[in-house]
Amino acid sequence: MDLHFTPDTPTESEKLAVDSVLGPAQSRWEGGERSEASEGQTSRGGFRSSPGRDLLLPVLHAVNGRVGWISPGALNYASRRLQVPPAEAYGVASFYDLFALSRRPPVVARVCDDIACQARGAEELCDRLERSLGPASAGARGDNATWVRSPCLGLCERAPAVLVTGSGETPWNRVVAPAGAAGIGAAIGGRPTDSCDLQAVSNSVPQAGSQSLRLLRRVGSAASETLEGYQRDGGLAALELALAKGGGWVLDQVEASGLVGRGGAAFPTGRKWRAVASAEGPKYLVCNADESEPGTFKDRVLMEGDPHAVVEAIAVAAFATGCDRAYVYIRGEYPRAAERMQAAISSFEQAGLLAPCCPIEIRRGAGAYICGEETALFNSIEGYRGEPRNKPPYPTQSGLFGRPTVVNNVETLANVPLILQRGGEEFAAVGTRQSSGPKLFCLSGHVSKPGVYETEFGVTVRELIDLAGGVSGTGRLQAVLVGGAAGAFLSPDELEAPFTFEGMRAIGAAVGSAVVMPFDDSVDLSRILLRIAEFFREESCGQCVPCRVGTVRQTELLERLRSGRPLGSVRSERLLLKEISQVMRDASICGLGHTASSAVDSALARFPILGGGAQ
């Protein structure tokens, strides 16, 4: 292997961190001590001596978690152990926001300043932190702690949100939401906060206790705590049915249900499963739990609040499609969800429930929105930079490790036990013809009772806002962002549109990740647009030019228009903005570029802001 290392050497604790994932090095050639006697005359090498490049991300997590940053010496050691070129390992490590490649204090407070938290005081919080801890990214408190701004943490129902992480032999984390200075101070000191317990989970579901709930029924209840409780509550029935009636029956039911993916693309789940089921192995199932769309938190609530149901659904899907291994890719900012899912998977394993299916493994993201794109997610699991691949080939043909792969969003999978228990036909009867089944919506921003709401498909945007207690703040609605940062802004007179795939399409919006985020009339909408543009600029992976350049140009244009200093005329600037948007839509490799301008476009078309009248 033509690996070229820098002279940097790892510290003892960096070695221990890597070894905690890979086990101790077997020989000097793999980074261990040079022993003349045993290793001078034989060695393993090549790809087969690597424990697997896909362990790179877990190894980087281990180092970052234990040491607080990833030093050149640690990268050398990790690269040697995995037989990955150090330059590539650096490329991977520097791809992710949660990893630091220069020394920083062990405690880091990530303060969400994204759109939902913006609407609920994130900027004021940042100002206070700057006064107490110093500027962002600087050390404070004897260099023990620092704070940074963060994109959406997926805690929008409890905005403003802060995630505090501490590195050390046992890395720890605390969620503070809604965050005040006192809570953050306590969390930085490592003291527990009350945001993680069961009560907090059910706080995210204002409908808790309602008889009409199907997907959210168990969230926050005692039945979600243990596998036994889950089973007593009627859980595992779907898995039993599947095993008794066979994979073909499962495929039939899922196809009959009309279930389509809840991740945004709305692809028929049954068709996806059928394609993989009929493909040659080895093949894989990936549960996409990299929920990173600003304003979206439903998958987090499902994983934290009813993890056994998600695991059961994964087991059923893997069984029906004949997959050899399942991965749950959980975004790095969801430590609580990862813990609860791991506990659920372990209890399934111990109960022998995964034996007829396949092993399930959790992989944690590390702060990269793009990894929610399915092919970027595959690259991320495989230990490469999370850059999307060209399609075709589609995941069902060539997905994870180049093999046929089922990739489903958490919410999509959560519907599967319902389908099997009630039958595909009955599921199909719920909702509308083209949008079947129950649906989760993420309400945040200016609503009285933010949280995850479950209704049948067919509900209108206005009904959803009413369900969440109506518009809060000034009480006067200015605009509603639907579908997330990659979605669209609606004006108050468009609220009667049904929130279905077909209903949203009709008004030029999309269901996306089912975000409903109203803004009252005190909000500077152009500031929100700029934040969205900044978000895409930061999260563009940089692989393809239209998106890499377009997202930067879009941000610059919005800044110029906001500050009233257009180059040329406002009219020409807005034309240029349109053109950039068109180029990104036409020529980007993946959905990030395709939708990076959709919220901006929709707002500029509807509202008299940034020098334009509504067009």
Interacting residues toward another protein by CB under 8 A: 1-3, 28-29, 34, 36, 38, 40-49
283: nearest Cα among 390, 379, 357: 357
- Residue 47 or 182: the one with the smaller Cβ distance to another protein is 47
Minimal distance, residue 39 CB to another protein, in Å: 9
List the beta bridge partners of residue 520: 477
CA-based nearest residue to 202, from 179, 227, 233, 223: 223
The nearer residue to another protein, 48 or 131, going by C-beta atoms, is 48
- Nearest CB to another protein, comparing residues 41 and 102: 41
We find the least distance from the C-beta atom of residue 40 to another protein, in angstroms, to be: 3
Q: How far is the CB of 322 from another protein (least distance, A)?
A: 23
What is the Cα–Cα distance from 497 to 503, expressed in whole angstroms? 6
DSSP annotation of 172 reads E
Cβ neighbourhood burial of 38 (10 Å; 0-12, 13-18, 19+): exposed
For another protein, the closer CB: 83 or 500? 83
Q: What is the DSSP string of 438-467?
A: EEEEEE-SSBSS-EEEEEETT-BHHHHHHH
In terms of Cβ atoms closer than 10 Å to its own Cβ (0-12, 13-18, 19+), residue 127 is: exposed
**Sequence-ordered list of residues with C-beta below 8 angstroms from that of 108, at least 6 positions apart, any chain:** 145, 146, 147, 148, 164, 165, 166
Q: Which is nearer to another protein, 38 or 137 (by Cβ)?
A: 38
The residue (of 29 and 172) whose beta carbon lies closer to another protein is 29
Query: Least CB distance from residue 41 to another protein, whole Å?
Result: 4
In what order do the strands lie in the sheet containing 360-364?
360-364, 325-330, 284-289, 405-409
Within 8 A by CB and 6+ apart from 24, the residues are 32
Q: Least distance in Å: CB of 50 to another protein?
A: 11
Name the minimum Å distance from CB 522 to another protein.
59
- Closest to another protein by CB, 28 vs 214, is 28
CB of 42 to another protein, least distance (A): 4
Nearer to another protein, 2 or 493 (CB): 2
Task: Tell me how crowded residue 394 is: count the other CB atoms within 10 A of its CB.
Answer: 16
Residue 45 beta carbon to another protein: minimum distance, rounded to whole angstroms: 5
H helix or E strand, kind and range, residue 538: helix 525-539
Output the CA angle 386-389-391, nearest 5 degrees.
150
